[in-house]
Amino acid sequence: MSTHQKALWLFGGVVALLAVASIIGAVLKARAGNPSSRDVVENLNARVRAWWGMVAVFIVAFVLGQTTTLVMFAFASFFALREFITLTPTRPGDHRPLYLSFYVLIPVQYALIGCGRYGIFAIFIPVYAFLLLPAIATFAADTQDFLERCAKIQWGVMITVYCISHAPALLLLKIPGYEASNALLLFYLLLIVQLSDVLQYVFGKLFGRTKLAPQVSPSKTVEGLVGGGLSATAIGGAMWWITPFTWQQSLLMSFVIVVMGFLGGLTLSAVKRSLGAKDWGVMIEGHGGMLDRMDSVSFAAPIFFHLTRFFFT
Amino acid sequence: MRPSGALLVGIVKLLVGAYPRWVGCQPEPRQRIYFANHSSHVDTLALWSALPRRLRHTTHPVAARDYWGHGLKKYIATKALRAVLIDRAREDKNANPLEPLIAVLERGESLIIFPEGTRGKDVLPGPFKSGLFHLAKQFPQAELVPVYLENLHRSMPKGAIVPIPITCTVRFGALVQVGAGETKDDFLARARNDVIALSGKQQQS
């Protein structure tokens, strides 16, 4: 089967899955009796509607090619960083590093992927940006909370730009015997991360009894994590035919993606709460903000990228 | 809406979101005077962009001629925003500076004004100038809507030329009226308190 045919099957599968979810949502809506279950169903349906939109955007980017995909992820980084900075108390003295982050770091980071410059892509933010951001912050001559302010901007850039950019960076990899199929690998990563989130949510709602980390992320349950995580891993193993992996390798890779995605959701939930918020934003109806949807991706993408690059190129 | 206006709204939403929250009233096509706190040059654009498209056409921001009166800014203000420019400097001492605002209200259209008159550097607004009171007295049929713009002082503090992206919510509060026999100072203090109440923050004494 060619890459093209595989992509068609994948898109068909995702669309069919969403159609089933929409039908289930409509049935649940008709049945929901009391106000609290109506709220849950309404939120579920809002999520499904938002998924239609996100899948449509992704399919369009996929069909139009690498440049469009990069632009799409650059915008995802932009909105995620905008949410991060909105919740982070900044002072007028942070203006220069923020200009640099939004208007220079984001475009350059994604342009480096576009030009295929892995060497500089990998260190541009952790080395150059991390030293220059605090350096230009000193020009404002405001030393109050200087370390905290710099650290917050650096963390925001790290998560929203550096980490998220590793997802489309999969397009850079030269994997022998897998030429011109890298877009499928990107699809694979996003599919497993998001399926894991969705299945953890579903298992949690159906069987969730034991809260996992009530202070950090009240909705996460042990039953949700185990049931959702294992199913997502199994589905990942079964998707080996779109990857350069054998089914055993694919199973392991999916497991790593699921674990990292879970840790990302947990960690960024702690960050969010330390900033005094419940959701990162309001952009995506039912889900919250861009970062509520990308938190797991930001942790899974760099590790998946590195493991694939280390073992398969 | 004009293409330049649509483009402008797109850019404003990309940079600062300008998400509307109709807390105390609904967006309705009645004659209104929206009055808001003023902390940055993006305020005018954000409030106007937060309105539904059908209301933007007949809602005119009031902008200072000394800032918005030249070059590209003048083009944006007069062509895209259809703003009303006023003289803060009052070069002609005999002219009523509210004249262009009165002209808009006489046509039955709406205004966006910043009663502080200038940008503050605090999260909460400073004292209001009297223009709002005079307009309210002269046009009692126009509804007065307090508005609180959140976060914009962080997007574009005084001295900044380009805004940094930050999510701003625009909260529209419940209608205010001048009470029978209410003095100018009492009304202005009350109107200001309504804006402060929308911020959800306590006033620091």
Q: Please write the tens of the pLDDT for every residue from A236-259.
A: 999 999 999 999 999 999 999 999
As a whole-number percent, the residues of chain A with pLDDT over 70 amount to 100
Residue B204 lies in a domain: no
Work out the average pLDDT over A11-21: 92
Residues of B with CB under 8 A from a CB of A: 17, 19, 151, 154, 157, 159-160, 162, 164-167
Domain range summary for chain A, segments of one domain joined by +: 1-64, 65-165, 176-313
User: Residue B177 has what pLDDT?
Assistant: 92
Average pLDDT, chain B: 89
Cβ atoms < 10 Å from Cβ of B120:
18
- Tens digits of per-residue pLDDT, B34-75? 999 998 888 999 999 999 999 998 999 998 888 888 888 888
Q: Check whether A277 has a pLDDT greater than 70.
A: yes
| Per-residue pLDDT at B25 exceeds 70 | yes
Q: Is the pLDDT of residue B89 over 80?
A: no
* Average pLDDT value for residue range A134-143: 93
- Quick one: pLDDT at residue B1? 60
Higher pLDDT, A2 or B30: B30
Q: Are strands B169-172 and B110-113 parallel, antiparallel or unpaired?
A: unpaired
- What residues of chain A lie within 8 A of the CB of B149, using their CB? none
Neighbours of A164 (CB within 10 A): 28
Find chain A residues with C-beta within 8 A of B17's C-beta.
82
Q: What is the span of the domain harbouring residue B137?
A: 3-199
Q: Which pLDDT belongs to residue A181?
A: 87
φ, ψ for residue A211, nearest 5 deg:
-70, 140
Stronger pLDDT, A282 or A262, i.e. the higher one: A262
| Average pLDDT of the segment spanning B124-145 | 92
Residue B43 structure tokens:
């305020």
Q: Which of B172, B104, B87 is nearest to B138 (CA)?
A: B104
* Residue B42 distance to chain A (closest CA, Å): 15
What count of other Cβ atoms lies within 10 Å of the Cβ of residue B33? 24
More confident residue, B138 or A1: B138
**Which residues in chain B are closer than 8 Å to A102, comparing Cβ atoms?**
164-165
Residue of A nearest to B21 (CA): A282
Q: State the CATH number of the domain containing residue B50.
A: 3.40.1130.10
Chain mean position to CA A268: 11
Residue B205 predicted with pLDDT over 60: no
Interfacial A residues in 94-123 facing B (CB < 8 Å): 95, 98-99, 102-103
Pairs of CB atoms within 8 A across A/B: 29
A90 close contact with B: CB closer than 8 A = yes
| Coil/strand/helix, residue A284 | strand
Q: Mark yes or no for CB contact B157/A99 under 8 Å.
A: no
Does any domain span residue B47?
A: yes
> Chain A contacts of B19, Cβ < 8 Å?
282
pLDDT, one tens digit per residue, over A197-234 is 999 999 998 898 889 888 888 888 999 999 999 999 99
Global pTM exceeds 0.80: yes
In a domain? residue B205: no
Number of compact structural domains in chain B: 1
Residue in B with minimal Cα distance to A281 = B167
The count of other CB atoms within 10 Å of the CB of residue A135 is 12
Work out the average pLDDT over A268-291: 85
